[in-house]
Each structure stands twice: as C-alpha cells, then as structure tokens.
Amino acid sequence: MAGTYSRTTTVLVIGGGPGGYVAAIRLGQLGRTTLLVEKDLLGGECLNRGCIPSKALIHVATLYDALRTEGPEVGLRTTGEWQFDLAAAQRWKESVVAKERQGVTSLLKSAGVTVLWGTARFTGPRSAELTAPDGGRERIDFEQAIIATGAVQSSLRGFEPDGQDVVTAYDVLNWTSLPGSVLVLGGGVSGCELGEFLAAAGAQVTIVELMPQLLPGMDPDLARELTRRLEARGVKVHTATKAIALDRTASDVRLTVEKEGTRSELSADRLFVSVGKRPATDELGLEEAGVLRDAKTGFIPVNDRQATNVAHIYAVGDCCQPPMLAHKAYREGVVAAETVAGLSTRFQFQAMPSVVFTLPELATVGLTVAEALAAGHAAREARFPYAALGRAHASHGTDGWVKIVGDDNSGAILGFQGAGTGVGELVGEVGLAIEMGATVRDLALTIHPHPTFSELLQEVALLWLGEPMHVARRVGSRPS
C-alpha cells in the first residue's frame, strides 16, 4: 500500500545491472551495509535485454544454420526439413535468463544486500527518494552512493519505434514469430548480431549503416570479413548510406536512403532501429546531489576510483564512460566498492577486450596496427589462417583468421584481432599477455594443448617471429 517511509544505509547503490549488483556484492563482502535500488529486473540490460538473451538466441540460430548447411557434409541428415521454432527458442531463452537472474538474487542475499524495488532520485548530496511500484515513497539517507543506472536505447527523429512496424532490440529479442523481411537501421554490434540471427533463422535482412563500414570504429579487416560473410548468407549490406525518411504503410515499411547523392527506397515487413545507446542519467536528480554530467553526452565524469566530482558519490558502467561493455562495468563496480571500503584500488587497464557474436565471431583487444603506428610504435602484424589449424578442420570451421600486432623494437604484444570459431574465448589470453607486458616470443613459447583453437595464438606468434610451423615461411619474411 502506498505510503511514506524513511530509512538509512551506509551505501546506496542505484541500479542492479552488471556494475551495480557486482558493486553491492563486493560491498557486502567488505562488511558495508548496502541497499540496492532496482526499478525493473536484477541483472540490468545485459542479463535481461542484451548479452545473455541475444547470445542464447544466436546459439539456437547457429545450431539451426549448421545443421542445414554443414550437416549433410559431415554425416547429419534428416528425412524431413529442419524447423526453426522461434516460440520454443524464446521459451528456452527465458529459462536461461530466469536462472541467471535467480543466481544474481541469491548472490546479493548471501552478501547481505537489501534490495528495494522502484526508482531512486537524489534529493540532496546524502539523500534520495525511492518511488515504489505501488506509488509509495521512501526517503533514503546514505553516507555514500554508487550510481549504476546503465544506458537506454537511442532513437532518431522520424524513425521512432512503435513496437510493431518499427522495433528495437528489445522487441526483436521477444519475437515469437519471424517476419519475412527486416530492415536494420544501424550496423553496429547489436544491428549486426541480431541482423545475422534473423537471417540465420530465415528472414530476408538488409542492413543500412551511415558510416563507411559495418562496426564503425572496429578494425576494418574485421568489418570486411563480417560483410563478406553476411553477403554470402544473402544479407544485403548498404554502408555509407544515410536514412532520409520512413513511410509506414499498411503492408510494409519503406525507407528512403541516400548514397553518394543518389536516393532510393528499401522496403521490408519491419524496421529494426539499432543506432546505439545513451547513458540513463536524465531522471536521477543529479543537480540536487551536486553531481556533474557532460551536457552533450549525458555521461557522468569519474576518476580512476570511479568517484564523481562529489567525493562520496561514485558512478560505474554505461552511465559514466564508454565503452559500454558489461565486463568493464563489472570491474568498475569492484573498484567503486573497494574505494568506498577504504581499500587502495583504481580502475586501470592496458587493453579492453571486445567480442562481436556474429558468424564469424569477431574479437579484438589492444591496438590495431594502424593505431600502434599512429602511437609511435615500430608496429607490424602477422595473420594466421584457421585453414592451417587441425582443430579447425576437425570442427568444420576453417573460415577465418587471427592476427597479432607486435613492436619490432621491444617485441611486446600490442594487440590482437580475429575472426572465426571461438575467437572470443582466445582474446582474454592476449589481454592478460598485454597487461603483464609479455612479448610475442613469450606467447610463442607458451605450450598450447593440441588439438585446440588456442593453438592459433601460438601459431600466429611464431609467424610474427618468422618461425612458422604450420604455414610456409614466405621468402623475405622476418627471420628470428
């Protein structure tokens, strides 16, 4: 029943996503009385509307695609046709998400964290008001606070989603029936991942991207590899193409686009708008708390201890600084919690890994060769193909490559990029190598088990050194 209440806590955490719930758990471990406010679902965007549900559905589509395209060649046949039951896949996805969410709930409980449901808004530098789902209001006084409100989907004027003909990633992740055709406006990570999922499931997909390549800002080689594979699947890709206008008719949606001064029209059953996210900081009452945010972007500036300009208020995750990655938010949550508890810690890294869960899977960590050269390194890269790896042949996954970027003066590993089966599971090892200041030879001397995809790292390191074992050494290549 609605009413007005009051309580106090040592630490208030606003938001139960990756940054918030990890911060709360760590605070509990460190003996701090912690109250976490969540307006929706524990786990936030990543668990409920992003990372986990999308990867679950992508997994189903990958299995379906492999059975249809690879099955007959490796001895898997059916007397009928393989069927993609999207409604059944959705039920399985929801079971995965529910189990993960329950896991978060249990971890918070075991850490002694109190969870309150509703929205929190600062009313002063050490107070906030909680509005519960039933309309009840509660004053919360705190000593310290951690803001972890994440981000929300961005939209474009004239292309606003309606949940029916024009949709967001949230809608796509809950479809129980597949449209015949889908236009994807935005060729970033979400647009490419879910666009390919829809194509693998059987829809006709067209991706429209304003920038000259898919996955803007990522290594161009990775973007080209993905574009090639998407087009081979039948996906139509339009880069350097601007969306001008949208016409929603009774039978379809029609998108007017412009490329190199020429306009044309694209049509489909649905338009999926995927133009990025913005920090969810508008309704927090930051002004009342004295917390500054960037007037243009909405991000909350923080230092390397995750502190805002108000010394006892911290911010973590998508609301405070890019890149918007769950694993970044995890670490920031730990740093904020440990700082609150008085421990000596800070958020620092040499290389932030990133994975795109398409086919092929894409991964990158550290610098590209272009970035390394621009930074003044004597940088050089080497590329090793999946086709030269025994495990790749045994797994029917020979399409792809990995490359390593090293410094010719110091031998240090500067970066890694890859496209192929399981490459996202390899990138963490290279991240560790970069963080520890390892050289390319260190990686080459590390014995990797055979037959595994991890051997790609040893092989590409050997190739960079000019000592390849499973590809021919080219005339004039760098000697050891």
Q: Distance (Å, rounded) from C-alpha 9 to C-alpha 139?
A: 11
Cβ neighbours for 342, distance < 8 A, ≥ 6 positions apart? none
Within 173-253, residue ranges assigned H as helices are: 189-201, 220-233
Closest by alpha carbon to 130, among 57, 149, 121, 333? 121
Q: Taking phi first (over 0 means left), then psi (-120 to 50 degrees means alpha), and beta for anything else, what does residue 456 get?
A: alpha
Asked if 448 is an active-site residue, the reply is: no
At residue 362, φ and ψ (nearest 5 deg) are -120, 145
> What letter does residue 420 receive in the DSSP assignment?
S
Write down the residue that tokens 């990867």 correspond to.
55
Cβ atoms of residues 84 and 92 within 8 Å: no
Of the candidates 238, 396, 450, 470, the residue annotated as catalytic is: 450
Q: Is 63 exposed, middle or buried (0-12, 13-18, 19+ CB in 10 A)?
A: middle
Cβ atoms of residues 272 and 183 within 8 Å: yes
E-strand stretches of 108-194: 114-117, 119-124, 127-131, 137-147, 151-153, 166-167, 181-185
User: Strand, coil or helix: what is 346?
Assistant: coil
Q: Is 6 exposed, middle or buried (0-12, 13-18, 19+ CB in 10 A)?
A: exposed
Q: Distance (Å, rounded) from C-alpha 45 to C-alpha 99?
A: 16
* Residue 212 exposure: Cα atoms within 13 Å on the Cβ side: 5
Cβ atoms of residues 266 and 257 within 8 Å: yes
Active-site residue list: 450
